[in-house]
Every structure is written in structure tokens, then in C-alpha cells.
């Protein structure tokens, strides 16, 4: 159903810039120290996001959805469906189906505070 929405954005970089990007992408995520982002990391575990998603550095095993280790550094979300902005990320967590018809990410039924904390956490994963 979503094949037309599997977009790819190509970035042309010098070998040096590419290698620096690659080295960074291979680093595990740093755990947030405190505040909303730290709460978001808890929600991420409690709400079973870990069953589908991996974040390197957390004990996550999910392999059926995108790896989120550096999701905050992406320019787009959901295979290039929309820009990776604060508002779009919140809308995605609130109701993925309304952002991308037929997506395999279910509506988790998150509360507003949980969405805010999760957004802070995910945005920090650069």
C-alpha cells in the first residue's frame, strides 16, 4: 500500500564528510540525563516501542521498524513522507495512520504528556 511513499533522498558529500557521518551513525545513542527526554526514554520502554524499534545502547531487539538510534538527525520521517519537524514528530506519535495511510506503525494510544516526553527524547537522538 505504501510503495509510492517509499522515498529516497540522496545527499552528495565529499568522502571525508561521508566517512565522518558514517562514523557518527555507528555510535550508540547517549542516554538522556534528566527532564522530559529522560521521561521519554522510560515511555519508550513502557509502551513497547522496543518490540518493533531498536536504539543502539538500549537493550532493544525490535527489527521490524526503522532503527531510531539517530532519528533526531534525519531530515525526513517515515521513508521520506514528511519533514522531520517537532510538529510532524508529535503528529506521527499521536496517530501514524493520519500521517501515512497504510503504515505498519499502529496508533499506540499515547497521552499528550507521553507524546511530549517521547518527542524530546527522539529529537535528542542526533
Residues that bind ligand HEC (CB under 6 A): 2, 44, 47-49, 51-53, 64-66, 68, 71, 74, 77-79, 93, 100, 103-106, 108, 110, 118, 122
CA distance 123 to 126: 7
What's the CA dihedral at 67, 73, 74, 77 to 10 degrees? 70
Shortest distance (Å) from residue 55 CB to ligand HEC: 10
Shortest distance (Å) from residue 48 CB to ligand HEC: 5
Closer to ligand HEC by CB, 15 or 62: give it: 62
Q: C-alpha 20: how far from its chain's center?
A: 21
Amino acid at each position: 500500500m505504501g510503495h509510492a511513499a517509499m522515498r529516497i533522498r540522496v545527499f552528495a558529500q565529499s568522502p571525508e564528510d561521508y566517512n565522518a557521518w558514517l562514523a557518527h551513525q555507528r555510535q550508540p545513542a547517549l542516554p538522556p540525563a534528566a527532564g522530559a527526554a529522560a521521561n521519554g526514554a522510560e515511555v519508550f520502554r513502557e509502551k513497547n516501542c522496543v518490540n518493533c524499534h531498536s536504539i543502539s545502547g538500549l537493550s532493544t531487539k525490535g527489527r521490524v521498524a526503522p532503527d531510531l538510534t539517530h532519528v533526531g538527525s534525519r531530515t525526513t520521517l517515515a521513508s521520506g513522507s514528511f519533514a522531520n519537524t517537532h510538529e510532524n514528530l508529535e503528529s506521527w506519535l499521536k496517530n501514524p495512520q493520519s500521517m501515512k495511510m497504510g503504515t505498519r506503525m499502529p496508533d499506540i494510544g499515547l497521552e499528550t504528556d507521553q507524546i511530549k516526553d517521547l518527542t524530546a527524547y527522539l529529537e535528542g537522538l542526533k
